[in-house]
Amino acid sequence: MIGALVLLAIIVLLVLWVIGAYNGLIGLKNKVANAWKQIDVQLKRRHDLIPNLVNTVKGAMDFERSTLEAVIAARNKAVNATGVAATAKAEGELTQALGRLFALTEAYPDLKATGNVAQLQEELTSTENKIGFARQLYNDVATEYNTRQATFPTLLIAGMAKASPAELWQITDDTERAVPTVDISTTKPAP
């Protein structure tokens, strides 16, 4: 009789634990998806801003055509990238191309004075920062999710929750790791 009660209690506890762990995993999975969406929103915003910037500076910087074209090419590549790793790589290249463009605008004081460029630059700086912070958040949440599903005992129900490791957003490029600044008031033209 007592034995049966103990057994029952153990089973109930076990079921409760499974429910808790399962819900925890699903919650984290949704958090990862949400954090990724945050990055996505900012990436899209950056992609939308770039044509504006290119149109604004096009007239004044006609002979720097190759730089502008590099920005546009990098942007188009980034728009079409899918998957975490590919997106991270394409966006990294776009960041570099933009950095070069902003470094060049330094040589055109008139351009800076029009205000429009300064405004676009502020927007792009902010978007870039937001991408960075969203990436921090994404990586933090994804790491927590990955650790949870790979450690005992949650490991046992990872299959039931259809949990698979989330890919981290890695910085693939050494120049990007150095955090390029796109603030023209402080940036010196790249050598």
Partner 1 sequence: MSEAANLFAQQESNRRRSTWLVIGFIVFFAWVGFGGDLAFGLLTADAPPGEYHHVVPVLGIFTTLVAAGICWYSWRFGARQVLWATGAREVTEPATPEERQLVNVVEEMAIASGLPKPKVYIVPDDDPNAFATGRDAATASIAVTQGLLRALSRDELQGVIAHEMAHVQNLDVRLMTLLAGMVGAIALMSDGMGRMVRGGSRGVRLGGGGGGGSRDKGGNPLAIVLLVFWLLTLLVAPIVSRILAMAVSRKREYLADATGAQLTRNPLALATALEKLEAASAPTQSITRGAAHLCIVDPAPGLLGTREGFFADALESHPPIRQRVARLQGMGYLGEVAAQKS
List interacting residues with partner 1 (CB under 8 A).
Answer: 35, 38, 42, 115, 118-119, 122-123, 125-126, 129-130, 133-134, 136-137, 144, 147, 183
- Looking at residue 23, its amino acid is N
In this complex, which beta carbon is closest to partner 1, that of residue 89 or of residue 148? 148
| Closest separation in Å from C-beta 117 to partner 1 | 12
Closest CA to 139 of 32, 45, 43, 34: 32
What DSSP line would sit under 28-92, residue for residue? HHHHHHHHHHHHHHHHHHHHHHHHHHHHHHHTTTGGGHHHHHHHHHHHHHHHH--SHHHHHHHHH
Q: How far is the CB of 70 from partner 1 (least distance, A)?
A: 26
Query: Between 35 and 101, whose beta carbon lies closer to partner 1?
Result: 35
Q: How far is the CB of 147 from partner 1 (least distance, A)?
A: 8
Cβ(74)–Cβ(97) below 8 Å: yes
Cβ-based nearer residue to partner 1, 17 or 133? 133
